[in-house]
Structure 1
Amino acid sequence: MPLARVMARLRDPVTGCPWDIEQNFSTIAPYTIEEAYEVADAIQRDDMAALKDELGDLLLQTVFHARMAEQAGYFALQDVIENICAKMVRRHPHVFGDVHAQDGVAAQMNWEAIKAAERAEKESDPSALAGVAIALPALLRAEKLQKRAARTGFDWPDTGGVIAKIQEEIVEVETATSPAHREEEIGDLLFAVVNLARHHRIDPETALRGANVKFEKRFRAMEDQAGAGFAALSLDDKEKLWQAAKQV
């Protein structure tokens, strides 16, 4: 694989790049996360040229980690590839075996059941929540924790209970007695909102990313409309510009 050879040259302890040689798993991990988000951003913008570029950057991260692991004697890139190939075959018995899946929902159920069985074999922690990575983005981790809990039957039967919980959490935010208490209650409120998104089969990260894009577009339209004096406008005037931007 040419990319693997490029990385081997970069990490060569004698002739490689000093920066690349100095890196370790911990120092590279933030770049890996950043590149994954940049892939998602290119998809959000429907920019296929950027997506091609960002996928290359993300692939580089895999090769970088694999090369460091190989140098440390843990595993090599080929082991990574063989492992993921075996996993995909194992978790798709409806494609590579004799199990039937009539639709995507059934295929997902097969996947989750096999994944749970694999996790049970590896995990010493018997909790249904075992293995949900702490380093995940908070919205994603909240959703995963909720999904795991739901598999045990600990879940609202419909969105009515979730909405009532959100309303309850808003009241608790309003009646919080200290900054620390308010922070805790806002966390509970966000957790409940993620639960609502999950019940509607909406990815909360994607939904929030869309809201960010919408807010930025409208805010920039307000600035363009007002010119250099935007910051000095009254809140009422800014609200009028906001409403106008919404109409556009």
Structure 2
Amino acid sequence: MPRLSERKDQLAAFDRLLTIMDELREQCPWDKKQTIESLRHLTIEETFELSDAILENDLNEIKKELGDILLHIVFYARIGSEKGAFDITSVIDSLCEKLIRRHPHIYGDTVAEDENAVKENWEKIKLKEKGNTSVLGGVPRSLPALIKAMRIQEKARGVGFDWEEKHQVWEKVEEEMQEFKSEFNAADESEIDKEKATAEFGDLLFSLINYARFIDINPEEALEKTNLKFIRRFQHLERSAKESGKKLEDMSLAEMDIFWEEAKKLGS
């Protein structure tokens, strides 16, 4: 628990932020024009910037991006208060009440001996609160497909719909790979049924995401790290080609591969 002096500093800092938000909303031409709708895409952008900082493990940048997201939270709350819909007090109170409800192992008499039990309780309570007819009803439609697959699988697991052993999940991956290969044979030059191949490829990706989840690998994080690694290596290739007086479009794949291998050896 924070010391009393620390809590006073925290409350004073939050009060200062709310005061500045009020002043900006009342005096700044740009801030005065903003709506909940106009802020939406900016909030999404700030969230991705925070994600980048986390992947880079840049703690100073994480601090800055958290500040930007906090600004958006108080901005939405200020607009909500102008509409008479909600304010920052009701936002925080609602959050506190939800956290207490969803942690009955802390604030009630429910027993949760491990992380999985906590997750299962959370999903069951959430389902009851929202009144969804489906366990999957709370998954946002606009989530990127890879993250959506993760959330779907996690929610299904929360009610006991999951594999028991990891080898079963890997067998499913292999099964889906075979089904995809039967629809899209790389050695066969005949025209494929693109719709069927697309469906089988989706099944394969879903099973791989499921396996990653089962062995505690975040597939979104894993793929993004590979994206960043590819970018670093490709940019090394571009720099090396330029330093050699060559253009990528004039180089053979074998020539480019020399610089690519250099990047791998350099740890890029």
Q: Shorter chain as normaliser: what TM range?
A: 0.7 to 0.9
Q: For residues 117-136 of structure 1, what are the structure 2 equivalents within 5 Å?
A: 117-123=125-131, 125-136=132-143
Correspondence 1:144 to 2:133: no
Correspondence 1:174 to 2:184: yes
Aligned mate of 1:38, from 49, 53, 72: 49
2:123–2:158: 8 Å Cα contact kept in structure 1? no
Q: For residues 46-85 of structure 1, what are the structure 2 equivalents within 5 Å?
A: 46-85=57-96
2:80–2:86: 8 Å Cα contact kept in structure 1? yes
Deviation at 1:193, TM superposition (A): 2.5
Alignment: residue pair count: 241
Aligned mate of 2:213, from 189, 194, 198: 198
2:54–2:62: 8 Å Cα contact kept in structure 1? yes
Q: Which moved more, 1:232-241 or 1:181-190?
A: 181-190
Distance in 1 (alpha carbons) for counterparts of 2:205 and 2:91? 36
Distance in 2 (alpha carbons) for counterparts of 1:217 and 1:117? 44
Q: Which moved more, 1:34-43 or 1:182-191?
A: 182-191
2:169–2:211: 8 Å Cα contact kept in structure 1? yes
Aligned mate of 1:229, from 241, 246, 267: 246
Distance in 2 (alpha carbons) for counterparts of 1:163 and 1:115? 27
Change (3 A) 1:114 1:193: closer
| Residue ranges of structure 2 left out of the alignment (5+ in a row) | 1-14, 186-190
Correspondence 1:11 to 2:61: no
| Residue ranges of structure 1 left out of the alignment (5+ in a row) | none
Q: Percent identity?
A: 36
1:11–1:21: 8 Å Cα contact kept in structure 2? yes
Change (3 A) 1:188 1:152: same
Per the alignment, residue 219 of structure 1 pairs with 234
Aligned mate of 1:209, from 224, 227, 242: 224
Deviation at 1:145, TM superposition (A): 1.0
- Computing the radius of gyration over CA atoms, which structure comes out larger, 1 or 2? 2
Correspondence 1:160 to 2:181: no
| Equivalent AA in structure 1 for residue 214 of structure 2 | H
Deviation at 1:207, TM superposition (A): 0.8
Distance in 2 (alpha carbons) for counterparts of 1:171 and 1:212? 25
TM-score with structure 2 length normalisation?
A: 0.78
1:177-200: CA deviation from partner (whole Å, max 9, x where unpaired): 455555444433332322222122
Runs of 4 or more, structure 1, over 6 Å off, are: none
2:119–2:158: 8 Å Cα contact kept in structure 1? no
Correspondence 1:2 to 2:16: yes
1:91–1:111: 8 Å Cα contact kept in structure 2? no
Q: Which moved more, 1:183-192 or 1:73-82?
A: 183-192
Deviation at 1:98, TM superposition (A): 4.5
Change (3 A) 1:167 1:42: same
1:66–1:80: 8 Å Cα contact kept in structure 2? yes
Deviation at 1:90, TM superposition (A): 2.8
Distance in 1 (alpha carbons) for counterparts of 2:79 and 2:38? 12
Deviation at 1:135, TM superposition (A): 1.7
Per the alignment, residue 261 of structure 2 pairs with 243
| Equivalent AA in structure 2 for residue 128 of structure 1 | V
2:170–2:211: 8 Å Cα contact kept in structure 1? no
1:169–1:188: 8 Å Cα contact kept in structure 2? no
Distance in 2 (alpha carbons) for counterparts of 1:9 and 1:37? 28
Q: Which moved more, 1:159-168 or 1:59-68?
A: 159-168
Distance in 2 (alpha carbons) for counterparts of 1:25 and 1:173? 46
Change (3 A) 1:243 1:159: farther
| Equivalent AA in structure 1 for residue 21 of structure 2 | M
Q: Which moved more, 1:161-170 or 1:60-69?
A: 161-170
